[in-house]
Structure 1
Amino acid sequence: MDDELALSLYNIEPDELAELVQLVKQVHGFDFSQYSKASFKRRVIRVMQLKRLRFYDLKHRLINDEAFFNEFLKEITVNVTEMFRDPQFFKAMNEHVLPYISSYQNIKIWSAGCSTGEEVYSLAILLQMNNLLSKSFIYGTDVNTQVISDARKGIYNLRKVKQYAENYLATGLGGSLTDHFTLMYEAATIQQVYKQQTLFSVHNLISDQVFNEFQVITCRNVFIYFESQLQERILDLFYRSLCPLGFLCLGSKEAIRSDTFSKKFKVINKKENIYQKVGV
């Protein structure tokens, strides 16, 4: 089947896309209305193509098949991640954030949109290499139950870990990434010391509320899939979740573009979009 024919079979019209958003909200409680429409449409079509579903069949499966909805959710929400992704980000955290938070008696960090846990364990290793892990606790959250389950296990393909090792070396932390794993055959399991200081749970940035007060919040490669109004709502959630002078770390691909919130945060590192909360 050529690409044009495939596109015609699995294309979705704007009114159908709106209908799908409403259906998912009513049946499953997930509101995709303020996701980037182009990104949402592209990913819905991908699901239709992978599963060979016309629009009517897609709706039927979403209503009647819970397991299919979890697959659908995993495809729609972006789960591209790796350990020490963008090493310069971790170098910037090492330089600008960790020296400041080291004075706290207890450090709480929230990794929002953590996917399968690589970001959380990267943060844990960063803290350990600065002798801060024992007094730190990292909360990893994602909207998808399946990726949270994978994150809790902390087991990764050994080939992937060896690829991640290049990122780790670029941070300049010293040693090897595999020093922090237990290696068995084709799998690598994150060491227990890191699991003890982390908690993974399901949290929906769109609908759920503040659940703790944090010194640091990281949220990378998430905002770009949201419309500006939803970005503001999530920024408000992050602002209320940070302690006074807490840090919001977004990474090089995302930034605070809201006039309202640019006044509530001070830029600490412009290239890696690390901000510090101002006011109370």
Structure 2
Amino acid sequence: MFLITDEQLDALLYDLATLYGYDFSGYSRPMLHRRFNRMFRLKEFSGFEDFRRAISNKPELLNWLVAEITVPVTEMFRDPEFFKVLREMVLPAVANAPLIRIWHAGCSTGEEAYSMAILLKELDLLHKSILYATDINPEVLKKAAAGVYPQNILEKYAENYYAAGGNQSFNDYYTSSYDLVKLNEQLKKKIVFSTHNLVTDASFNHFNLIICRNVIIYFNQQLQNRVLNLFDASLEQQGYLALGTKETLQFTSVNQQYQKPFPKEKIWQKI
């Protein structure tokens, strides 16, 4: 079985950076090897140079590769207990801000941003909130901005919603058409979807809450520190930073600036 060597991986990373501006050099090397080897195996290329040419010349292959590396997997109210803490503890703590700014970094197809909009609406805070949902991958952002999802996943989303403390009819937040559902425009109009590259781009605002779940786990330590310093520079004093279940601020360059007020959840507060 063919396996991409370190030298070949470096060549592919060079191509992605120079041709398309995607710098994955700070991502976990074992993860990158797994993703590239999987892609090579599934497409049955004749050899490495054939693989390299295809990535350089076929945009649809590039889009798939970026999706493979950035892992666009999400769902509405994913990890309901996390969203319950947001509903009951975090959002009430920032409710007095004149304008509540929330950043969903690495938002993928947008389900978590829409979940946040629902929480804010039910807490009567959506009218004075703005959500920025960003991702490196423009293809998943198109899906996020459309707010259209398969009908067959809504049962799971509804279960998550009620487990996260939802007390209204989840059906009120979307309209159905055949096998698709479209989320309400009232939710969408408070969300700004935009490309943002955590590897290279700078801070663009100050936020009361930053959510970046299951993204930095794929970064090496140097890139993790770079991104966490970016979040720190973007976060208001007393603001909150939420990470994924396997991510932590321990042993990072910003750890001393934060406390962890909710022991069971990966949510930190800037002190």
SS at match of 1:163: helix
Q: Report the 3-state secondary structure (helix = DSSP H, G, I; strand = E; otherwise coil) of the residue aligned with 1:12.
A: coil
Question: What is the CA-CA distance between 1:57 and the residue it aligns to?
Answer: 1.3
Aligned residue for 1:231? 224
1:117 matched to 2:110? yes
Give 1:114-193 correspondences, 5 Å limit. 114-193=107-186
Corresponding position: 1:261 with 2:245: no
Aligned residue pairs total 270
In the alignment, the residues of structure 2 paired with residue 121 and residue 199 of structure 1 have an alpha-carbon distance, to the nearest angstrom, of 11
Of 183-192 and 142-151, more deviation after overlay is shown by 183-192
Could you tell me which residue of structure 2 aligns to residue 204 of structure 1?
197
Residue 80 of structure 2 corresponds to which residue in structure 1? 87
In 1, the alpha carbon distance for the partners of 2:244 and 2:67 equals 23
TM-score in terms of structure 2 length: 0.96
Counterpart check, 1:30 vs 2:22: yes
Segment of structure 1 superposing worse, 250-259 or 161-170: 250-259
Computed over aligned residues only, the root mean square deviation of the Cα atoms, in angstroms, reads: 1.3
The alignment partner of 2:78 has SS state of: coil
Partner Cα separation in structure 1 for residue 218 and residue 23 of structure 2: 13
Describe the superposition over 1:242-271 as per-residue Cα deviations: whole angstroms up to 9, x where unpaired: 112111011432111234311111212232
Q: Distance in 2 between matches of 1:44 and 1:257?
A: 30
The 3-state SS of whatever aligns with 2:254 is: helix
> Which of the residues 44, 56, 72 maps onto 1:52?
44
Stretch deviating more after TM superposition (214-223 or 23-32): 23-32
Measured against aligned partners, the alpha-carbon deviations of 1:105-155 in whole angstroms (never above 9, x if no partner) come to 111100000000001001111111111111111010000010000000000
Identity of aligned residues (%): 43
Instruction: State the 1:214 CA deviation.
Output: 0.8
Per the normalisation by structure 1, the TM-score is 0.93
Per-residue deviation, residues 223-252 of structure 1 (Å, max 9, x unmatched): 111111110000000001111211101143
Q: Which runs of 5+ in 2 are unaligned?
A: none
